[in-house]
């Protein structure tokens, strides 16, 4: 809040000088007295008051423009994130893709058809992400979070999901062929028409999974799976799955 205060008119030099007890103080008091007159004169200058108001007004205009352009800044941020992802397509390593994917997902941007094949995305958090038809084949996704994510028709073959969270994930028609799912949490996941042939499901949590319409489980390793629905193990073994407890490490 602007408060313009009129400076008090300084006393005359004669009065001030007569009140000084020591002569050596005269130069210092004279210097201060000069600035008192300057302050007094400027306080009566309306132009300076106008400049003060204009300064506050410019701040207000800046705030208005900042919020009015927030949408453009968000679009620019999304564009840069997509640029990071697309530039690194087909390459190993992270290349900033973990942060870019998470940022887009946090802003609820659909990641439909994103290609991060062979990427190092260990520990990425993409819960509730829309990854319809995403290509993540051979990606390192250990310890990642895809809980409640839409991975329908996603290409996940040869991907490493060790210790990953896939609770309630939609994996309908997804390819999990030869995927490493050791210790992953698939509780409540939808595996309708999913291809699990050759997948390593050792110690995976399969409680409440939708499994009865799995397309293929040929050669999948179901040793030590946890919470398997009634009838799943028998069905899996009858359709070509194996129970190999020996570690591959």
pLDDT digits (tens, 9 = 90+) for 27-61: 767 777 777 767 766 666 565 566 666 666 677 66
Structure tokens given for 57: 């007004």
Own/partner contacts of 211-214, CB < 8 Å, gap of 24 or more, are 211/235
Domain positions in the chain are 13-68, 91-244
Task: Tell me how far apart the alpha carbons of residues 110 and 114 are, in angstroms, rounded to a whole number.
Answer: 9
- Would you say 152 and 173 are in contact if contact means Cβ atoms under 8 Å apart? yes
Task: Tell me how far apart the alpha carbons of residues 245 and 228 are, in angstroms, rounded to a whole number.
Answer: 16
pLDDT in tens, 64-98: 665 665 566 788 889 999 999 998 887 777 889 99
């Amino acid at each position: 809040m602007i408060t313009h205060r009129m400076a008090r008119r300084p006393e005359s030099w004669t009065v001030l000088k007569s009140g000084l007890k020591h002569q050596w103080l005269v130069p210092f008091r004279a210097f201060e007295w000069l600035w008192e007159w300057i302050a007094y004169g400027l306080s009566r200058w309306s132009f300076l008051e106008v400049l003060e108001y204009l300064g506050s007004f410019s701040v207000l205009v800046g705030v208005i423009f900042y919020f009015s352009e927030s949408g453009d800044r968000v679009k620019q941020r999304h564009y840069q994130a997509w640029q990071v992802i697309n530039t690194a397509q087909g390459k190993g390593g992270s290349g900033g893709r973990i942060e870019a994917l998470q940022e887009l997902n946090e802003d609820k941007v659909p990641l439909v058809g994103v290609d991060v094949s062979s990427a190092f995305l260990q520990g990425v958090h993409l819960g509730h992400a829309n990854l319809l038809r995403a290509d993540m084949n051979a990606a390192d996704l250990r310890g990642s979070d895809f809980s409640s994510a839409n991975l329908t028709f996603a290409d996940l073959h040869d991907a490493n999901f060790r210790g990953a969270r896939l609770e309630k994930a939609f994996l309908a028609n997804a390819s999990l062929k030869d995927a490493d799912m050791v210790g992953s949490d698939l509780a409540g996941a939808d595996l309708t028409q999913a291809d699990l042939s050759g997948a390593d499901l050792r110690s995976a949590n399969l409680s409440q999974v939708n499994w009865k319409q799995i397309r293929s489980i040929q050669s999948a390793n179901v040793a030590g799976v946890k919470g398997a629905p009634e009838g799943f193990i028998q069905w899996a073994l009858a359709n070509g799955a194996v129970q190999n407890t020996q570690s591959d490490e």
